[in-house]
Amino acid sequence: MPYLFIDFGASRIKTAIFTNGQYIQIQNFTPVAKELRASHYYEISLQKIQDLFQEILNTYHNFSIKKFFICSEMHGFALCDCNNNFLTNYISWQDNRAADVVGNISTYEWARKRLPTFREKTGMNIKNGLPAINLLHLLRTQDLPKKIKIISLPEIIIGSKIHNTLLAGLGIWDIYQNQPYEEFFRLCNELGYEITTNMPTSAIEIVGSIHNISIYTPVGDNQCALLGSGVKKNDVIFNLGTGSQVAQISELDPYASIEQRPYFNNENLSIITHIPSGRVLNQFIGFIQECINIGNSYKNAWDLFQTLNLGSLETATLDINLAIFEGAYKRERERERERESKHFKYKRIFFYSAKLLQFFTKMLH
């Protein structure tokens, strides 16, 4: 019985047929290009996503597929009204609109102040690009229906249930209590909106069908990649992609030193995310290519990189800061240290002010 596997990634769409115990007909598809908006916005047409999905099905039409499984990037979303009519394009994790100032404060900084428990509830640090933060920006800046459903990428194609790996990626779920993140939903209510989701599930089950093909619960691509690697407890896994991560199966702890995510079979992950990787490499190669073009050369930057070997890399003297995007791990750590430094400074000011007050009190007596 042929199965179709689809991985909706940010840089490319990977597909394969699995039958008789082996993978055959492995094929990549180009992802849908972003809509032309401000450079820090990253929206994709829902219709084009659906058209791409249909193109994939048409490509494999002759294989008589009976089942298919989907994984996708976890930190993008779209909005629907209560009748499942789409209200927005798909808004990618590469979208940094929450950095825009509304009134006198950016939504990112506003959310940090209003949701101090974000990390200990969602397992994630607040950062630009997270669906919860971009959603708050939409609620602060647009006139939307008062009741809204937030959906992940696969739900654009087949929307009935949402797996906990994708739900957690939205930043609206308390992964430690396995319930909605109450402070977030209260904040949405303060803004005048009621937010809902499709039914959460941790099971891999049939959630719908298209052309008599059974569709199973879509899952997060990072967790799916780790599962496919055969990761075991005490293993540390490096996942290199458009964005990269380091992960390990671990127990849930709301005060863990690094971020956490739900996994499969009632297990969970401790994970470092937003490590600069393929997305940044594309920017760097693009810069090199522009320099080549200015010199009226027809050389291709990617081809030049193919000529490099380990020896040439070890002796290279050029250092490149890859933390160029908002939310990059290094930039988040720098911000965290800066906040800790300010907090420590204020504690010291308070301490010495208290000492001075005690001194003058004694002098007056």
CATH code, 112: 3.30.420.40
Asked if the structure places residue 286 within a domain, the reply is: yes
Q: Are residues 309 and 207 in the same domain?
A: no
Q: Are residues 217 and 288 in the same domain?
A: no
Q: Are residues 197 and 289 in the same domain?
A: no
* pLDDT attached to residue 333: 58
Overall average pLDDT of the 155-179 stretch: 94
Q: Is the pLDDT of residue 261 over 90?
A: yes
CB atoms within 10 A of CB 82: 12
* pLDDT attached to residue 364: 43
Q: Are residues 196 and 58 in the same domain?
A: yes
Overall average pLDDT of the 193-197 stretch: 98
* pLDDT attached to residue 160: 84
Of 142-151, 279-288, 316-325, 341-350, highest mean pLDDT: 142-151
Asked if the structure places residue 258 within a domain, the reply is: no
* pLDDT attached to residue 119: 95
Structure-model confidence comparison of residues 160 and 341, the more confident one: 160
Q: Give residue 338's domain range.
A: 278-363
Asked if the structure places residue 67 within a domain, the reply is: yes
How many CA within 13 A on the CB side of residue 57? 19
Q: Which amino acid is at 135?
A: L
Asked if the structure places residue 159 within a domain, the reply is: yes
The model's confidence at residue 10, banded by pLDDT at 50, 70 and 90, is confident
Overall average pLDDT of the 318-338 stretch: 63
The model's confidence at residue 100, banded by pLDDT at 50, 70 and 90, is very high
CB atoms within 10 A of CB 353: 10
CA distances from 4 to 15, 155, 158, 186 (A): 7, 17, 15, 40
* End position of a domain, from candidates 203, 221, 239: 221
* End position of a domain, from candidates 173, 200, 221: 221
Asked if the structure places residue 247 within a domain, the reply is: no
CB atoms within 10 A of CB 67: 16
How many domains does the structure of the chain reveal?
2
Q: Are residues 19 and 108 in the same domain?
A: yes
Cα–Cα distance measured from residue 313 to residue 301, given in angstroms and rounded to the nearest whole number = 16
Q: Are residues 289 and 186 in the same domain?
A: no
* End position of a domain, from candidates 221, 244, 268: 221
pTM of the model: 0.79
Q: Which two tokens stand for residue 39?
A: 């450079």
The model's confidence at residue 283, banded by pLDDT at 50, 70 and 90, is confident
* pLDDT attached to residue 360: 42
Contact predicate 288/301, CB 8 Å:
yes
Asked if the structure places residue 254 within a domain, the reply is: no
Q: Are residues 93 and 194 in the same domain?
A: yes
Return mean pLDDT, the chain: 86
Q: Which two tokens stand for residue 270?
A: 């401790």
Q: What is the pLDDT of residues 217-242, one digit of tens each?
A: 999 998 998 999 899 988 998 877 76
